[in-house]
Amino acid sequence: MFNSIAYAADGAASQSPLAPFIPLILIFAIFYFLLIRPQQKKQKEHTAMLNAIAAGDEILTTGGMFGKVLKVIDNAYIVEIANGVTIKLVKNGIAQKVVAEATTEEKK
C-alpha cells in the first residue's frame, strides 16, 4: 500500500525545470509588446523630429512656450519667443514642432 503512494509522488515530481519560469516569461513578453516597444518607437520618432528642426520652424517647448527657431547650434537652438526676445534652448527642451493648420477660410 505505501509503495504505490511513493511511486505516484515520484511521477509528479518529474516536471520540467522551466515550468515555474513560463509565467514570468509570458509577463515579460506582454510588457515588452505593450509598454517597452511602443515607448522605444515614440522615442525614435521624437529624436528624428528634433534632428529635422531647422531655422524658421515653429516649436513648442516643454515649458509650454511657442517660439520660432532662429539658429541651430550643435545641441541647442536660439529661439525667438516674442519680438526681440530670444532664448537659448537645448534639444531636450523641445516638445514638438508646430505645424500651422489652414483656417476654414483658407480651405475654401
C-alpha cell of 53? 528642426
pLDDT (tens digit per residue) in 9-60: 555 556 788 888 999 999 999 999 999 999 999 999 999 999 999 999 999 9
At 57-86, the pLDDT tens digits run 999 999 999 999 999 998 899 999 999 999
- What's the first-to-final CA gap in the chain, in angstroms? 93
CATH numbers and ranges of domains, the chain: 18-107 (2.30.30)
Show the beta-strand stretches assigned E in 29-101: 58-61, 66-73, 76-82, 85-90, 94-97
pLDDT in tens, 89-108: 999 999 999 987 755 555 55
